[in-house]
Structure formats: C-alpha cells, structure tokens
A and B are shown apart, each in its own frame.
Chain A
C-alpha cells in the first residue's frame, strides 16, 4: 500500500515539476510574444486590411476592394519606374557586394601580424549610420565642390553631375550602397571561411593548388551556405532601401525620378499624400515579390547547403 501511495506522489511531483516549467516557459515568452504580436503580427494583418481601403487617417476609411492593387498595376506609371529602379538598385548593390566581399574576406582570412587591426578598420563602416555616410558622400559627390570632381579636374575631365544628372544618380547611389554593405557581408563570409578546416588547405597545397586555386576550389564552394545567406539578406535589404536614398538624392526620388525606388514611393504615398490604403497595397506587393524571390533562392540554396553541412560530419 505504501508503494502505491509513493508512486502516486512521485507522479504528481513529476507532473508538478513539468507544469511549473511549462508555466515558467509561457510566462517568459509572454512579454516578448506580446511585443511581436502587437508590432509584427497585428501590423501584418492590419496593413492587408488597409490595402482594401482608402484612408487618410482623418476621414473614415472607405472600402474599395482590390481597386488599390488595380491602380497600382494598371494605372500608375510610377509603379513601373519604381520597380525598374528598385531592381536596378538591388542588382547593382548585391552583385558587386557579394563579389567584393568574397575577395575582401579572402584577403582577411589570414593569420598574419596586424590582421586584426585591418579587420577592425574594414568593419568600421558597419557601425556608421547610412544617414551620416550619406551626408559625407554627398560631399564627395557634390558637383561643384566634391572630392571626386576636383580629382577628375586634375586629369582634365569635366565635372560629373554625380547626384544631379539622372544618368549618374543611380550609379552614385549604388556606389555608396555597396560601400555600406560590403563590411556586413565580409563579416559573415569571413566567419564562414574560418570554419573551413586547415588541413583541407594543406591537402590542396600538396595536390599542387596555388593560392587562387585554393580559394576558388576549396574556400568558395565550402561557404556556399553563407554566400546564400548574404545574398538573401542583401536582396531583402536593398529592395526596401530608404534611408540612404532619401538623404543622398532627396525624398522625390532624385533627378527626374532616376532614383525613385519602392522605399521612396511608399514613404511618399503614406506620409506625403496620406494615402494609407494605396501605400499598404504597395507594401504588400513588395512583400509578395520578396517572398517569391526568397523562396526561389532558398529552394535553390537549401539543397546544396544541406549537402555541404552534412559532409562535415
């Protein structure tokens, strides 16, 4: 009889133990969950809801169904412009960023004296705000007084209207954007490169591989997962660019809408024209495009990445 009682009380004790932990678990997650729900999930649903309305915050909202989407695709010439500009900006940022940061990370991936100083310096732009850098680069790109034009003047090339001419504005913007993104990508790629075991390089050296061959045949294939990650994050980031564009080329999307990207368009419609419904529809279109892009990327990358990861075992 005593044994039955004992086992019953052990069971209740165990149950009490796990319920206590479960309760703690729920309590620990609660504030966080509340924040995520209020600031992430609710906005998600609410903006979808708003995209079916016309609303300017002061007068009551009017339900218009899918009219906003229709206007976006069919009637707004600026949508196509923004789409084109955003794609150009994204490609013009991500491709050079990935290539340059691969090379930079490769150079930084050595154990020579003083390398940590160089790493600190090269990662510095990470800490700097887009806004501050935009102000500084504006100075560099200034048509009359900027550093670049002055230096070009030495070799006899006339001043280039970096930020004023539609043809150059996007290029200038991309340059700053690449300058800004390379450090972040380099940090990630460098960390991945440091995970490649040393003796793979030793084996490659014995097999006759020189520095470049080692980099191309060993390093790059083995950090494929990190490269994917960088590409995905960079695309998502570039697609929504706002800060940099606003400060460098203004809130109207630059000279003759040369730098009119989605971020600017959204800001304009939401906080300039107070067309919250229309802006929300735009936001969801951007979201949808990004989802598709990312899903494609992940599908392509995941199969290869999983192979790579498992082969380390």
Chain B
C-alpha cells in the first residue's frame, strides 16, 4: 500500500470521525424541539461518516506522521469530505419531509426545504457552512426545521475555528504530525510550544466568547434562539441567519451595534486574544494586524458612510452610519450578516456601484491571519504594501546600504523580506486570478443584462472571501448549476488559502495518483 495513501487515509478517517461525533451531538436539537421526524435522518447522517472514518482510521492507524505534502492533501480532501458528508442532514431531512417517515408526524413540505432534495443545493449549503461563507440556497430560513437551522449554525461555528483544529483538540495525540496538519489549514500561529495545547487554548477562548456573544445579543433584544444562532455564526464570522432577511429582520439599532464587537472579536487572531485575556491590553494597538483591524475598518466605514450619505440612498447621517458601518464591518470581517435589504431600507445590490466596490474591497482584504475571518488577510496586504514601499525607496539609497524591512516588530533582512513578500504576492495573485476568472465565467452563465459587473464581482468576491453577502445572485433558482459548482470551488479554495487545493488537484490530475 502506498505510504502516502495510508497517512492521508488515517487522518481523513479522524476528521470524519469528528464530524460523525458532531452530528451525534446534534441529536439533542430535534429531541428538545420535538422534531422527531428528523432523528432517523440525523442518525444516518452521523453513522455514515463515523463508520467510514472508523474504518479508515483502523485500517491505517499505523501510518507514518504526515509531512507537508500529506498535510495539504489531508486539509484539502478533509474539508471537501466534510462538505460532502455535512450535506447529508440537509438532503436526508428534506427527503424525510418530502416522502414522510413511518411512525413519525412530519410537517408540510416548504419550497425552502424542498430545495435541499437537490444534492447540489445540499452540498452548497454544507460547504458554505463549514467554510464560514454564509451564502445560502434557502429562500426563507425561518421555515427550516430547527434541526437544520442548528446544523447550519453549528457547521459555521466549527468551520470558523477549523475542522482540523477540532480534530486535533479532541482526537490527536502529541507528536502525531498535528503541527503539519494545523499549518495546512491556513494557520501558523502558536500560542504554546505544544500544538495540542495551542488548539485547546483556541477552543476555550472561542467557547467563552460564544457565551458572551449570545448574552450580548439577547440583552440587545434578540430572542434567545436567535441569539444562540447569531452569536455563534457572528463570532465565527460565518453569517448564516435563521431569519429571512438576516439581521435586518430585527430592524434594531441595539442589535446592529451589539453585533459589531462580536464580528470584530472574530476577526482578531487567537494569540492576540490570549495575550489580552492574560492582561496584556497593549496588544490592541501593539499588534500590527489588530491595530489595522480597527484602523482599516474605521477608514473603510467612514468612506462608505460618505458614499452612502452624500452620494447614495440614505437621507440621514445616522442611517448612512448605521448601515454603512455594519455592512463594511460585516464584509471586512468576512461575516456576511446583512442589514441593507429592501424590506427595511435599501438593498446592497441597489447601492451605487462605488459603494458596492468599497464593500468588495473589504471582502478582498478580510481580517487578521489566525482569526476566523477570510479574505487575503490583513498581514498579507500589509506585507505587500510595506514591501512595495521598501522596493521603491531602495532606489534612493546607495547600493552598499544595508536596509531592513520592519513588519510587526520584526526586522527582516533582504532574504527574509524577499521570501515573505513573495509568499504574500503569490497568494494575492492567485486570489485575484481566481476572482477574475470566476467573475468572467459567471458573467457568461448568468442571463444577459440581469446583473451588473459590480454585482457579479461582488458575489464572487463574497464566495471566495468566505463572506456571504449577496447582491441577489445566489439562490436555488437564480444561480445556474455551473455557478453553484464554481462557488463550491471558490468557497473551498478561499477557506484553505488556495495552495492546498491546488496541490491536491495537481496530484490528482497530473500524476494520476499519490507521490511516493
């Protein structure tokens, strides 16, 4: 047996076991809400990944620890598998309601739930959830069974921190290649020398912040079920909602402003949270990324406020502030909650193009590396900006001058600066390339003249940045099949920062098998 297959199979098995465990845990929800018809579907959804995972793990448990290549394949295939098996609850519950379950009272089928009888729609919803995107195939989330509302929320909450981080925290043994896997999931920061301790710290911080977020929203006036779901998806910067018009449904200034710190918490790196909780409050301004989370959100929101008030659809400065600030923070933290909808004010898709492009820029950059946010990440944007300035300024110095590039308190020599600049540039170039190609292809497949270039660019950036804001294109009927498949790919590469997916695809298509 190929050693690489064994290593990948073993770790993939662990990930599927963890997913099965999460589904078993979710059985509490239909029991509490009395949705007994969902129990068989949820049980089968849990048993399938649990069984496959168990078989894979037992078969390959003595495999070697993963190297960098295996780590990338595990991350890419693991996230894709989680998307596939995570779609089972949507598919099976939708079919349970469609066909009925002997011995159980089943509610009437709705158009929203019926959309999930299509496997592609179920897969889209699952991938959107686990990648923390928040684009949805539902027309009206309110009519979904509570079990599915919960599964959407739970998938985003888990996905926000990371499937591998979860698996490492509960199933991994120290020294079993956890660091390699951890780094393959678009994370590199370490809080403690041990990676298992690091992920456990990430989890207690995340769980504590979840409780705080739920209580903030509830105190702001949200009903408790909404507060639980939106607190979890807001902190995970996922953006799934249980209401038809996202956060706009509540039409509450207190809730809008209460969500801002929750989304911001989600876009700050976990090591910084840890230091702040240890009492080192200087990190709010001493850490480059955290400083820029606030600076960049402030500048972007002010700009958007100006566009919306002076040249846009809002008549009062406060309305422009309320919707501009919320939508920019929601976009730049890659959450995707929406308050700008036609039902209460002016939908995002009807904002002036320059305002939409400002929001698109926010989605492109995203939050801090090491947080739950998507996009290219602030540190890469800052590395590129500083690197370009460094290169240009180089012309004004004598050739013999020794210059160092300073990033986040680190003084990099020529070689280190070149390497970091190149790594950031590769990700950004790939990100832009996929954004442009995706926009072009979606323009070709959408009905001619129905959506503007700004609308399409916005939607693709939203999928790839794992944001979830929509200009109205995404939906079970409005998005063509090709668009759904393309968006699955955008969400997948966006979550893993592209490289692991390309490595896996190259392995599959070029070599036709695994490397030895």
| A, B co-complexed | no
Q: Give A residues with C-beta under 8 Å from B.
A: none
